[in-house]
Chain A
Amino acid sequence: ILNVEQSPQSLHVQEGDSTNFTCSFPSSNFYALHWYRWETAKSPEALFVMTLNGDEKKKGRISATLNTKEGYSYLYIKGSQPEDSATYLCASPDNTNAGKSTFGDGTTLTVKP
């Protein structure tokens, strides 16, 4: 069984604060790691696809890093804005041809104006 864990479960920050949260996964048989953003009343949307140890991806104020040897990924948000409020999910795709993914419980971020 592949366990993907995220922390913290929820986070409340003020507008302008920078924040980060963690996704941990078993380091053996690593294949890839995906980050998603899930806004209320919308569907989850992929943010990053990470595959290589030491990967760092960036999209605007959001960035992510990957450590496959120790089995964790960090998501950073610089200068949080209210529109960043969402649940952030990480997922580990199956390393066979099945195409399915195992998701963490998510970190719900609330940014207060």
Chain B
Amino acid sequence: SAVISQKPSRDICQRGTSLTIQCQVDSQVTMMFWYRQQPGQSLTLIATANQGSEATYESGFVIDKFPISRPNLTFSTLTVSNMSPEDSSIYLCSVVAGTGQPQHFGDGTRLSIL
């Protein structure tokens, strides 16, 4: 299975700032996703990172708040913009080998906003 490197692993940020999270995969993958888990809640899909085109966002998530880049089939970034305490979450990138296959996750970014 793919090896996924995600960084930073954790950060503490000030309100109003932005943070970019990186996800590097050791092989080319078509399907890459960004999830978050807010405290006490389930893993929620933010968007599908599409190579060479704009990401596909789920209901409740917008590009201005969570801009995503996917310059090639091994790398993606998620930016959390203009952060507020409600953005304190674990953010995870994941890849899928094929339709119906389980997600393989990065180690996650634990983000706290002061």
**Residues of B with Cβ closer than 8 Å to A?**
4, 30-31, 33, 35, 41-45, 48, 92, 96, 98-108
A99 touches B102 (CB 8 A): no
Known: A43-B106, A46-B104, A93-B99. A100 touches B92 (CB 8 A): no
Q: Does A105 contact B (CB under 8 A)?
A: yes
Ordered by A's residue number, 15 sampled pairs between the chains whose C-beta atoms are within 8 Å are: A36-B103, A42-B107, A43-B108, A44-B92, A91-B103, A93-B96, A93-B100, A94-B99, A99-B31, A99-B98, A99-B99, A101-B103, A103-B42, A103-B43, A104-B42
Which of B33, B41, B102 sits near A105, CB closer than 8 Å? Answer: B41
Q: Nearest Cβ distance between residue B7 and chain A, in whole angstroms?
A: 13
Q: What total count of A-B pairs have CB within 8 Å?
A: 68
Segment 74-96 of A: residues with Cβ below 8 Å from B: 89, 91, 93-96
> A42-B107, A103-B35 given. 4 additional CB < 8 A pairs?
A89-B43, A94-B99, A98-B31, A100-B33
* Chain A contact residues, majority secondary structure: loop
Which of B41, B96, B105 sits near A99, CB closer than 8 Å? Answer: B96
Max count, chain A CB within 10 A of own CB: residue among B30, B41, B102: B102
B100 touches A51 (CB 8 A): yes
Max count, chain B CB within 10 A of own CB: residue among A44, A91, A94: A44
A43 touches B105 (CB 8 A): yes
A93 touches B43 (CB 8 A): no
Q: Which residues of B contact A93 (CB under 8 A)?
A: 96, 99-102
